[in-house]
Amino acid sequence: MNPFIETMPDDMKAKLQIPEGEEILIQVATDLDDTRGFGQQWVVVTDKQMLVIPTNGQNRTMSVPLSEVSEIKQEELVGSGYLELRRKEGPPVQVPYSRSLTPKFAEVLEALRQLKDGEEVTLPQEFERTHCEACGRLLPEKNGICPVCLKKWVTFRRIVGYMFRYRWRVILTMFLSVVSALLALLPPHIIQLIIDDVLTPRTDQGLLFQYVMMMFGIRVAIFLVDLTVRCVGRAVGLRSIGDVREDLYRQFQLLPIKFYDKRRVGALVSRMTNDSDRLEGLMVYDFYYILSNTLLFFGILALLMVKNWELTVYVLLPIPLIVFAGSRIWDRMILHWSKWSSKWSKLYAQLNESMHGIRVVKAFAQESREGDRFDHHNEEMMQVNVVGERTWFVFFTITNFLMSFGVFFVWFFGGQQILQKELTLGVLIAFISYLWMLYQPLRWFGDFYNFILRALAGAERIFEVIDSTPEPFDKPGVQRMPRIKGDLTFRNVFFGYDPGKPVLKGVDLEVKAGEMIGLVGKSGVGKSTLINLVCRFYDPLRGVVEVDGVDMRDIHLNDLRSQIGMVHQEPFLFDGTIAENIAYGKREATFEDVVRAAIAAEAHEFVVQKPDGYDMKVGERGGRLSGGERQRISIARAILHDPRILILDEATSSLDTQTERKIQQAIARLVEGRTTFAIAHRLSTLRSANRLVVIDEGRVAEVGTHEELMDRQGIFYRLVKKQQETSAVLGVGALDG
């Protein structure tokens, strides 16, 4: 289904007049009218024109031929925005909408630009959802699940599917649950026999002993069966939730970078912790209680009907009211617990952020501010929790009160039948016993219903991540390239992180194997974005990136990335030893390989001076090492990886002058025979590059050697001069100090 062809009401279709031969490419509705009040207009884009159709009937349909458009832009206001088409002649046309529709109209803007430039229109097949497509409610999270429209039984069946990976154990526990339920039905019947056959006639003490021993044997059997069910069932539940966590973690590893761009890490971690804990309770404890209590409920109901159907009708009188109330409260409670999970995610994200940034918090003395932020999120979560618990408590209390009416009916009408000799005392006592046993599963369902709803809401949030589209590691028909040469070609590449806001705008660039390219430009012009495309962290919105003449999207992803090495401006080290971090990209590396890489990266000298040498633990994020030491470990890791394409992102930014000179020599050895992209703000460090590529406003503005670009006195020349002036000012300031 094309998200940009929305269903138009019939009265709007009557106003739509498209000339023969024109194709409708976009048909979407706004949520504001032409006065910027809440209302609706329809925007229809063909290959020749854009039409704006109002729904209030006061204004006529406006048509803007694309050939008359001089400029297209999008403006964001407080709470709203608008799409504006400026015509060569006449006033501009504005289409207002609320902020929730900004992503959609950003794509409309880009499509209009493509049409205006005579290019083929490319629209995404999906965009960020802020409202439920079924009921229109605001989603707790962008692209999240609607708690009201949650398919609860589908989710429950999927949970059971995880448990049925251990099929025979589940079948055993289900069989034993049936046995336990059948055994539990026997004691009240034996009580009936004792009263009617022994106590009422006051005869046969031996028969009394037999009945009592039968009850004792049944209780022992129930104990043993329940013990087995709990041991085996909990083992299955723990293994199953372990499988869920494994699938969730592996999916976290396989999801593309763009999945993480607009999600906070703490909010995702809460799905692994808080949500999976809720689901664990359902899998380990609640599942078998649901099974056994369901069997017990229907078994008791059948026995009650056999013993006395008239009294059974009185017992069932409150149940329809209870079921009706439960169905009414179901959606409300699932909504509460979905909101609770969302609030908990925000709380966890804020906690995660503040702890990772604790040095910044303390450096700026903002402890109280962070405490206030935490209090705000904690208060929001508490409010949702209080409302949910209050709603549930009222429902549960009323349910218990309604269930007690059945006992009154049975005693009154059953007592009348005994007085009329239509019923024996033993049958009535057995009936009362079964009645309390019948209410026990109902009470259990009422008690645990709350926890089940929380577990289902948490499970759906987990499955939402598991079902997200991973990177195309197993894309069929891709080309295997275990050894690439390193030729890269960018052909008319467009890319932007946000819809309608391209960072790269038609980049054309050819890089030969073994060539070192220095990427130059002001901050935010697209240098790092270009690198992200080389690593295929993202795919171009338009255009092609080729490796050795093959579209990067047609190359096996593992083959591509296994031959790319990166040294970041802020290197990330794992909480392991120095040797483990150097060998991270090459599992089969020997200790001698690690040492050779460290020597080449000028890291060996400081490593051997550490108390534990290469076995030293670097701490979380490499916190026990200095910035320069982390940088050199990162370079050693890249050297050992031996990539065909090397990316240096400010690789010497954390080094002192003496160490930088050594690293430059190591990098000079490293880049030999490899295609290298280097980003550096200190332009003097790029003199060794074969070519410098100047990026400006998302386009390749200049290409040439350092000397050629200086002679041209263009953008690069001005950047160098400005940097020299800044360095001179800083130098004078340092001397004055």
Q: Hey, what amino acid is at 205?
A: Q
Task: Compute the mean pLDDT over every residue in the chain, rounded to the nearest whole number.
Answer: 79
Angle between helices 205-254 and 152-163 (to 10 degrees): 100
Mind spelling out the 3-state secondary structure of 630-657? HHHHHHHHHHHHCCCEEEEECCCCCCCH
* Separation of alpha carbons 630 and 603, rounded Å: 9
Stretch among 225-234, 293-302, 644-653 having the lowest mean pLDDT: 644-653
Predicted pLDDT at 596: 86
pLDDT band at 444, cuts 50/70/90? low
Q: For 115-124, 261-270, 524-533, 721-730, which range has the lowest pLDDT when averaged over its residues? A: 721-730
Looking at domain 10-116, its CATH architecture is: Roll (2.30)
| C-alpha span between 327 and 696 (Å, rounded) | 60
Per-residue pLDDT at 670 exceeds 50: yes
Judge whether residue 436 has pLDDT over 80.
no
- Dihedral pair phi/psi, residue 17, rounded to 5°: -125, 105
Q: Enter the tokens of residue 643.
A: 């990539």
| Token duo for residue 535 | 């690593």
Q: Mean pLDDT throughout 231-239? A: 86
Task: Give the span between the Cα atoms of 448 and 442, in whole angstroms.
Answer: 10
Say yes or no to pLDDT of 161 above 60: yes
Is residue 700 packed enough to be buried (19+ CB in 10 Å), middle (13-18) or exposed (0-12)? buried
545 — pLDDT class (breaks 50, 70, 90): very high
Of 89, 53, 54, 87, nearest to 70 (Cα)? Answer: 87
Mean pLDDT of all residues in 513-541:
87
pLDDT value at residue 735: 40
- Arithmetic mean of pLDDT, 51-68: 78
What is the three-class DSSP state of 538? coil
570 band by pLDDT with thresholds 50, 70 and 90: confident
Distance, in Å, from the CA atom of 200 to the CA atom of 208, rounded to the nearest integer, reads: 12
User: What pLDDT is recorded for position 220?
Assistant: 92
Cα 582 to Cα 593: distance, rounded to the nearest angstrom: 10
- The pLDDT value given to residue 3: 73
Per domain, the residue ranges of the chain are 10-116, 152-466, 477-563+675-737
Q: What percent of the chain stands above pLDDT 70?
A: 83
pLDDT of residue 730: 44
CB 244 within 8 A of CB 462: yes
Asked whether the beta carbons of 25 and 47 are under 8 A apart, the reply is yes
> Which string of b and e fits 621-645 if b means at least 16 CB within 10 Å?
ebebbeebbbbbbbbbbbbbbebbb
In angstroms, rounded to a whole number, what is the distance separating the alpha carbons of residues 485 and 101? 45
d(CA 124, CA 524): 24
| DSSP assignment string, 473-514 | TT-TTPBP-SS----EEEEEEEE-SBTTB-SEEEEEEEE-TT
Q: 194 in helix, strand or coil?
A: helix
The residue length of the chain stands at 737
Is residue 507 over pLDDT 70? yes
**Reported confidence tier of residue 733, pLDDT bands at 50, 70, 90:** very low
Q: At what angle do helices 167-184 and 186-193 cross, to 10 degrees?
A: 20
Identify the CATH assignment for 477-563+675-737 out of 3.40.50.620, 3.30.420.40, 3.40.50.720, 3.40.50.300: 3.40.50.300
Estimate to the nearest angstrom the gap between the alpha carbon of 701 and the chain centroid: 38
Question: Do β-strands 691-696 and 699-704 pair in parallel, antiparallel, or remain unpaired?
Answer: antiparallel
Alpha helices in 420-485 (DSSP H): 425-466
425 three-class SS: helix
Which pLDDT band holds residue 335 (cuts at 50, 70, 90)? low
List, for residues 291-333, the tens digit of each pLDDT value.
777 788 888 888 878 877 777 777 777 777 766 766 666 666 6
Enumerate residues 6+ apart whose C-beta is below 8 A from 343.
377, 380, 381, 384
SS3 38: strand
Q: Quick check: 704 pLDDT over 50? A: yes
And the tokens for 34?
């032409």
Q: Which pLDDT value is given to residue 736? A: 44
Model confidence, pTM: 0.71
Q: Which amino acid is at 15?
A: K
Residue linked to tokens 């409920």: 297
User: With b meaning 16 or more CB within 10 Å and e meaning fewer, what string describes 273-299?
Assistant: ebbbebbbbbbbbbbbbbbbbebbbeb
- CA R_g for the chain: 35
Write 162-165 long-range contacts (CB < 8 A, 24+). 162/240, 162/241, 162/243, 162/244, 162/283, 163/236, 163/237, 163/240, 163/283, 163/287, 165/239, 165/240, 165/243
> Which pLDDT does position 489 carry in this prediction?
92
Q: What is the mean pLDDT of residues 705-727?
A: 81
User: How far, in Å, CA of 471 to CA of 47, rounded?
Assistant: 33
| 41 pLDDT higher than 50 | yes
Q: Which residue type, as a one-letter code, is found at position 38? A: F
Specify the pLDDT at position 488.
Answer: 92
**Which residues 6+ apart lie within 8 Å of 697 measured at CB?**
505, 525
- Is 10-116's fold the same as 477-563+675-737's? no
- Could you count the other beta carbons within 10 Å of the beta carbon of residue 306? 9
CATH of the domain spanning 152-466:
1.20.1560.10
Distance from C-alpha of 360 to C-alpha of 108, rounded to nearest angstrom:
41
Nearest Cα neighbor of 335 from 388, 299, 296 is 388
Which residues are within 8 A (CB) of 76 and not within 5 positions of it... i.e. 6 or more apart? 99, 102
**Mean pLDDT across 616-621:** 82
- Percentage of the chain with pLDDT > 90? 2
- Segment of 188-197, 323-332, 361-370, 435-444 carrying the highest mean pLDDT: 188-197
Evaluate whether 224 touches 443 at the Cβ level (below 8 Å): no
